[in-house]
Amino acid sequence: AQSPSLDRDCTTLSRYVLQELHSFSAEAQDLSALMNRIALAGKLISRRLSRAGIVEDVLGFTGETNVQGESVKKMDVYANDVFISVFKQSGLVCRLASEEMDKPYYIPENCPIGRYTLLLDPIDGSSNIDTNLSVGSIFSIRQQEGDDVDQTATDLLQNGHKQIAAGYILYGASTMLVFTLGNGVHSFTLDPSLGEFILAEENMQIPESGSVYSLNEGNFWQWEEPIREYVRYVHRQEGYSARYGGALVADFHRIIQQGGVFLYPGTVNKPEGKLRLLYETVPLAFLIEQAGGKASTGRERLMDVVPEKLHARSPLVIGSPKNVELVESFY
């Protein structure tokens, strides 16, 4: 019998994206080039992570603090630089906005022609690196609107429906790239010996409901009351399983594949929670909706939220439609 991967004819990412777009329009060409660049960044980051402890400067902190007030890890800086250098050569992206940079990064050479903005969290869940656990990268692509001559990037302060593409790279036991171009969610697995992302699943669909709930229960007394009530309710039911790995991308990947719900609610001191809208919660909202799931702040559909600033945060309730509706019913 043929192995399953051979049955699938080893569809590579670059071939798949061109096929999916069914056209050779300028935009289709651009998107295909953008996805290939993201894949290249993913390969470079994956290669470096796989050598943690063998080569220098993979583990540990730089000693700096970023815009978010968090200690910067060496891999945060490396991954941010990888995305910048990969997109400098693309000609397509004029601005990159990242968790690691206070202001958007402009690539002047690309600005007259580069019509796209890449929003990203270069390494999500970086506290997992030093213990050899999964981390990810999250990205979202938007069309630049207006010429942004004063470099304020105010056109980014619009809702999630403005996204053209979104996805993540999961650096786990294997490296996976999962994305949407607004026409379903597709996943690819990196074959390191080929250096190619090979199609794993087309049109992923999240189950209607699932038994996993995923949140940091250490924050119980910090949460707002509806979330405490929801968790008390879960504790009284049979059949739920708690799963929380400390990296959003990895926890989200479990949910989108197997169903259930991931939550990062607001707390008394931080009503907007921890996760950032433009490059963490809203890209995942786009993906989950494309896979038949739901994403909410608890009070409203996440895709409709308009950020007040580049690094704005939002609560996150995301996953199977039934599970998300149940959480919302506690508000």
Closer residue to Mg ion in complex, CB, 124/289 = 124
Closer residue to ligand AHM in complex, CB, 101/111 = 101
Least distance (Å) from ligand AHM to the CB of residue 127? 6
Contact by Cβ (8 Å): 270, 223: no
Interface contacts to ligand AHM, rule CB under 6 A: 70, 99, 121, 124-126, 216, 246-248, 274
Binding residues for substrate: 124-127, 216, 244, 274
Closer residue to ligand AHM in complex, CB, 247/261 = 247
Residue 220 is given by DSSP the state G
Binding residues for Mg(2+): 99, 121, 123-124, 280
CB contact set of 19 (below 8 Å; sequence gap of 6+): none
Least distance (Å) from ligand AHM to the CB of residue 22? 35
Residues forming beta bridges with residue 294, ordered by sequence position:
319
Contact by Cβ (8 Å): 226, 274: no
Closer residue to ligand AHM in complex, CB, 89/132 = 132
Least distance (Å) from ligand AHM to the CB of residue 249? 7
By a kind-dependent CB cut-off of 5 to 8 A, residue 311 interacts, out of Mg ion, ligand AHM, none, with none
By a kind-dependent CB cut-off of 5 to 8 A, residue 216 interacts, out of Mg ion, ligand AHM, none, with ligand AHM
Outline where DSSP puts E strands in 128-193: 135-143, 163-171, 175-180, 185-191
Q: Considering CB under 5 A, how many residues would be counted as binding Mg ion?
A: 2
Structure tokens at 277: 């809208």
251 binds Mg ion (CB under 5 A): no
Least distance (Å) from Mg ion to the CB of residue 291? 21
Least distance (Å) from ligand AHM to the CB of residue 200? 22
Q: At residue 2, what is the residue type? A: Q
Closer residue to ligand AHM in complex, CB, 45/92 = 45
Nearest to 215 by CA among 323, 114, 130: 323
Q: Could you count the other beta carbons within 10 Å of the beta carbon of residue 327? A: 25
By a kind-dependent CB cut-off of 5 to 8 A, residue 210 interacts, out of Mg ion, ligand AHM, none, with none
Contact by Cβ (8 Å): 180, 265: no
Least distance (Å) from ligand AHM to the CB of residue 58? 16
By a kind-dependent CB cut-off of 5 to 8 A, residue 246 interacts, out of ligand AHM, Mg ion, none, with ligand AHM
Q: By CB under 5 A, what part of segment 109-168 binds Mg ion?
A: 121, 124
Structure tokens at 273: 């929670």
**What distance in Å separates the CA atoms of residue 263 and residue 294, rounded to the nearest whole number?**
12
Residue 195 is given by DSSP the state T
Closer residue to ligand AHM in complex, CB, 125/293 = 125
* CA-CA-CA-CA torsion sign (293, 254, 262, 179): negative
Least distance (Å) from ligand AHM to the CB of residue 216? 3
Binding residues: 99, 121, 123-127, 216, 244, 274, 280
Q: Give the binding site for Mg ion (CB under 5 A).
A: 121, 124
